[in-house]
Amino acid sequence: MQIDLSNKTALITGSTGDLGRVMARTLAASGANIVLHYNSNEAKANELQQEITALGRRAITVQADITNEGQIYGMKEKVSQELGHVDIVVANAVIQYQWTSILEQQVSDYVSQFESCVMQSVYLAKAFVPAMIERKGGRIIGINTECAMQNFPGQSAYTAGKRGMDGIYRVLAKEVGEHQITVNQIAPGWTISDRDRANHSEENIGYSSNVPLKRRGTDQEIANAVVFLASDLASFITGAYIPVNGGNVMPAI
């Protein structure tokens, strides 16, 4: 069975990141035109644009701070002018910071996680969902994390931000479902990316030994889940939090 996203346009925030770049390539390989959002890595964004246009797809790069409402709307305007409407929004970008205990964590780190997880999701919804409502369809896909279920020491700011994001997505799914817009989340585990391959750090027995499938997942496996949720195969799935982590966390009924 072939997933066909021809004539669809997908926006991926954080397209130049370890997971985002594979999502962009995979969505493009499935037929979608791509909006490559980046914050600072313009060179990687341009490189990805060349890759995607070589596949025969249309692709544009857009720089924006995803914690700034005005810049999100600016991104929307550029996309509207150059590609038209967006059918698929993937909220992948997140601010990186140094993890430590709650007592040691800087308050600014909690703010950054709230802004990049919760407010990014709100801004993207406000900017792109109204046009989806007019067209009676669309896909919103948030990249969450297994950490939201683990609540391990040191994860507090990240977990708080992603659990807040979870609340936004579940409510949004109920608010826009009547318009045939699906809203779902993918929760990756500790995923192998190009960085691991370059450093030969793919294996971590301490982590993998607790995973039912006894291995770490790959960036491609995360991207495959994104493409599935973006497709018509997932047309009756909404409000879901889907771990893609080999069973390392399992939501209960």
Residue 10 CA to residue 140 CA, distance in Å, equals 10
Q: Give me the mean pLDDT over the 113-142 stretch.
A: 98
The reported pLDDT for the residue numbered 2 is 83
Q: Strand 59-63: give its sheet, edge to edge.
A: 59-63, 33-38, 9-12, 88-91, 138-143, 181-188, 241-244
**9-244 fold:** Rossmann fold (3.40.50)
Rounded to the nearest integer, the mean pLDDT of the chain is: 97
Grouping H, G, I as helix, E, B as strand and the rest as coil, residue 25 is helix
CA pair distance 150, 155, nearest whole angstrom: 9
Is residue 120 over pLDDT 80?
yes
Domain boundaries defined on the chain:
9-244
Q: Strand pairing of 88-91 and 9-12?
A: parallel
User: Could you tell me the pLDDT band of residue 133, with boundaries at 50, 70 and 90?
Assistant: very high
Whole-number pLDDT of residue 253: 87
**Which of 76, 58, 57 has its CA nearest to residue 66?**
76
Q: Would you state the pLDDT for residue 209?
A: 96
Residues serving a catalytic function are 158
